[in-house]
Copies of this chain bind each other. A is one copy, B any other.
């Protein structure tokens, strides 16, 4: 392995820059030439590939987003697209790839390896924390902190006015973001896809709270909840409790940005180094992750197909803590 390239793909997440930096510097440390590819698989197809030096990644560890930009690529789902991508890598003599992204990215890299034999090692870059093979994904800790800081601000206002706030957080089909937001944000109710919380439960919890003279409530809703969006859920509850003074907040893309937290910088740095090490060890189609404080490599296929269950005791914590 003499030349490798790094790219980011899929939704961006805080810490991707820290990971790029670690890949670049670790490659140089190991005497390998390193290239950057812009806009994920699209840049591979279009030849948007450039040499990176140590100074290319100076002063980026603290910055959100990704200096390599990210995109989803339709063309890479075609054989012709992948052929073009391969030709461009070949032209630069690039013989290994580091992909920072999620399951869509790893699926593409898997096919690419089967067809063209270019090995990819992946780092889990997504705020959703829904990838098997690592306890935490890069960006998750930052996204949760961002959401909790927003909830803190909303709670100031909730306490001042005695309202019910319905706050929607990200997380695709999982409650990984919602759970710590609810615990850390001091929420009275959390609604996640993994467990069923009916509108009736919500109504009862609110009414029990009022009867015990609680004055303000925060309901944290994962975007994938089966009862609908925060707007829809608030409307359903309002129908049952017409006197309720409700407000809806959808945190949205604010959660994807921002300077990465300490934990995300550390994780991104460790995994960036591990990706380069993995390529040097002859690995292919594996994701570097940290499980129980240990570095592990997991086949892409497992990260995509195996499920990472959320700790069931976490939902119960909300009931205890809002007593």
B152 and A323 contact, CB distance less than 8 A = no
Interface membership of A135, Cβ < 8 A: yes
B159 and A28 contact, CB distance less than 8 A = no
Copies of this chain in its oligomeric complex: 4
B322 and A25 contact, CB distance less than 8 A = yes
Given contacts A25-B321, A26-B320, contact A253 B262 (CB under 8 A): no
A109 to B309, CA, bound (A): 38
- A162 to chain B: which residues have CB within 8 Å? 69, 71
Given contacts A62-B186, A317-B269, A320-B26, contact A161 B70 (CB under 8 A): yes
Interface membership of A150, Cβ < 8 A: yes
Which of the segments A77-85, A140-148, A232-240, A296-304 contacts the partner chain?
A: A140-148
Given contacts A161-B70, A247-B253, A249-B252, contact A156 B63 (CB under 8 A): yes
Return A290 CB to nearest CB of chain B, in Å. Answer: 11
A267 to B150, CA, bound (A): 20
A156 and B262 contact, CB distance less than 8 A = no
Given contacts A65-B159, A249-B252, A320-B26, contact A259 B152 (CB under 8 A): yes
Interface membership of A47, Cβ < 8 A: no
Interface membership of A160, Cβ < 8 A: yes
Q: CB-nearest residue of chain B relative to A146?
A: B153
- A273 to chain B: which residues have CB within 8 Å? 317, 320-321
Return A264 CB to nearest CB of chain B, in Å. Answer: 8
Give A239-267 as 1s and 0s: 1 = Cβ < 8 Å from B's Cβ atoms: 00000000111111111111101110110
Give A151-166 as 1s and 0s: 1 = Cβ < 8 Å from B's Cβ atoms: 0111111011110010
Give A31-52 as 1s and 0s: 1 = Cβ < 8 Å from B's Cβ atoms: 0000000000000000000000
Spell out A's residues near B (CB within 8 Å): 8, 12, 14, 16, 18, 21-22, 25-26, 28-29, 54, 59, 61-66, 69-71, 135, 141, 144-146, 148, 150, 152-157, 159-162, 165, 180-181, 183-186, 212, 247-259, 261-263, 265-266, 269-270, 273, 292-293, 311, 317, 319-323
